[in-house]
Chains A and B, each alone.
Chain A
């Protein structure tokens, strides 16, 4: 069964600290993997997209990594800000069905 699992489920860090969120998937074949940020009560907003051949991609303070062999991705947030408080969702597009498969997200709270 195609699945996307994220860890940790929730995370609390102090402003200015770094953190890393994990995503493991079993989707095969794999088309691409995207990290979304979702503020409470809002729609998800794309942060990065990675294809099979890409290992690392950065978007400001966000850096995503992908290991297609082990089917793992991570999202590293540097020098966290209060506005980073949100749910971060890992989404994998199936290469077979073209459908998006969502993880349950990691809820990040950044405290002053």
Chain B
């Protein structure tokens, strides 16, 4: 186990709804990255948070937003859910922005 936890493990939503996914980073890690992994694909970078500030963003629309708390845990929020948002959402924490990323088990989101 990497020490990175995510909740919930599974989630079912309908189109147009909003969802919040949570990630607790490994102790001592100040950086959290979020990824979306569609079935049979590699993870796609959503954004990264470093010391509570966004530190880079991938090609995802503004309805994907996030934040990082003072204890370095993080949330991913997705508004106006679409069917294509169905995927495994992974968070990874690291000691710093250039260090090894340790992945959590992921949250599987299904949008109906």
Contacts and interface: CB of A to CB of B under 8 A. Distances in A.
Contacts of A107: 40
Contacts of B2: 43, 45
Interface string A33-49: 01010000111111001
Nearest to A89: B42
Of B35, B42, B44, B104, chain A has the most CB atoms within 10 Å of the CB of B42
Interface size class of A (residues with CB under 8 A): 20 to 34
Interface stretch (A59-67, A69-77, A95-103): A95-103
Interface in A13-52: 34, 36, 41-46, 49
A99 B88 CA distance: 20
A43 B105 contact: yes
A3 to B, nearest CB: 11
Given A43-B4, A104-B42, 19 more contacts: A4-B42, A34-B100, A36-B103, A41-B88, A41-B105, A41-B106, A41-B108, A43-B103, A43-B105, A43-B106, A49-B100, A89-B42, A89-B43, A97-B56, A99-B56, A102-B43, A104-B41, A105-B42, A107-B40
Interface of B: 2, 4, 33, 35, 40-45, 56, 88, 90, 92, 97-98, 100-106, 108
Interface of A: 4, 34, 36, 41-46, 49, 89, 97-100, 102-105, 107
